[in-house]
Amino acid sequence: MAEQQQQRRPAPALTPERVVVAAAAVADRAGLHGVSMRSVGRELGVEAMSLYHHVAGKESLLDLLADWLMAQIDPPPADGDWRAGLHARAHSSRAALGAHPWGLSLLESRRTPGLSLLAGHDAVLAALRAGGFSVRLAAHAFSVLDAYVYGFVGTEQQLPFEPGDGADAMIQEMDESLTRFPALAELAAELVTGKDYAYGDEFEWGLELVLDGLAARLADERAASAPDSR
């Protein structure tokens, strides 16, 4: 049983990038839990110890993986208006984190921001400044938007509402508790009868609420700094 890889493909040289992409593939398949130096090595047809010649160690590999993920998120277009730009950026963030369910936990575990994250932050701040936000107000706006988007994805991924995914078990457990939790029971009843409900739709509702709030604060700020306001 000769190894096919030996003669047919010279196996492209290992690079940090190839290691990161392999780690992402393993994570997509087996979760963040399944990413080990040994499993990533196996993905590349190489021993775990070889990886240490291209990444400093597992923590460093995870830093690179987090940066790879941030690079999947589109920046807001530089020329559009701030609201459309942030709206698009929010949906792109949710899409990237939805495509890689291990992403949020990974980002949360990193302590030092990568270049892609800094670049994304810079682009969002630039969009706000171009839209007329003061530096201080842009900082506020950035914070509330970022918190909302990441928080929504986190709560969304916790729900076992993907069909068959465990919703039955949850509903059964909740059935047992319905009398103890009447407000939840009321909600469950309404959402089950009103068939058009999908939790994912809440994203847009809350995003519009936040963007409306930012537009109002921006209008306040402009009114306060206008010459005729005093």
Partner DNA sequence: ACCTGAACACCGTTCAAGT
Q: How far is the CB of 193 from a copy of itself (least distance, A)?
A: 10
DSSP class of residue 57 equals S
Would you state the structure tokens that stand for residue 2, as one six-digit string? 């000769």
CB under 8 Å to 106, separation ≥6 — which residues?
27, 32, 62, 65, 66, 69
DSSP string, 140-203: HHHHHHHHHHHHHHHHHHH---STTSSHHHHHHHHHHHTTT-HHHHHHHHHHHHSTT--TTHHH
Environment class of residue 44 by beta-carbon count within 10 Å: exposed (0-12), middle (13-18) or buried (19+)? buried
Contact residues: a copy of itself, CB under 8 A:
104-105, 107-113, 115, 118-119, 121-123, 125-126, 129, 135-136, 138-140, 143-144, 146-152, 154-155, 157-158, 160, 166, 169-170, 173-174, 177, 180-184, 186-187, 190-191, 194, 197, 199, 202, 205-206, 209-210, 212-214, 216-217
Task: Quote the CA–CA distance of 182 and 229 in Å, as a whole number.
Answer: 50
Q: Of the candidates 17, 47, 175, 208, which one interacts with DNA according to CB under 7 A? A: 47
Return the number of the residue (50 or 92) whose C-beta is nearest DNA. 50
CA separation for the pair 18, 127 (Å, rounded): 33
CB nearer to DNA: give 48 or 144. 48
Regarding 217 and contact with DNA (CB under 7 A), the answer is no
**Total interface residues for DNA by CB under 7 A:** 19
Q: Which does 146 bind (CB under 5 to 8 A by kind): DNA, a copy of itself, none?
A: a copy of itself
Smallest distance from the beta carbon of 150 to a copy of itself, in angstroms? 4
**From a copy of itself, DNA, none, interface partner of 223 (C-beta below 5 to 8 A by class):** none
User: Contact between 49 and DNA (CB under 7 A)?
Assistant: yes
With vertex at residue 203, the alpha carbon angle to CA 171 and CA 189, rounded to the nearest 5 degrees, is: 30
**Interface ranges with DNA (CB under 7 A):** 13-14, 35-39, 41, 46-50, 52-54, 57-59
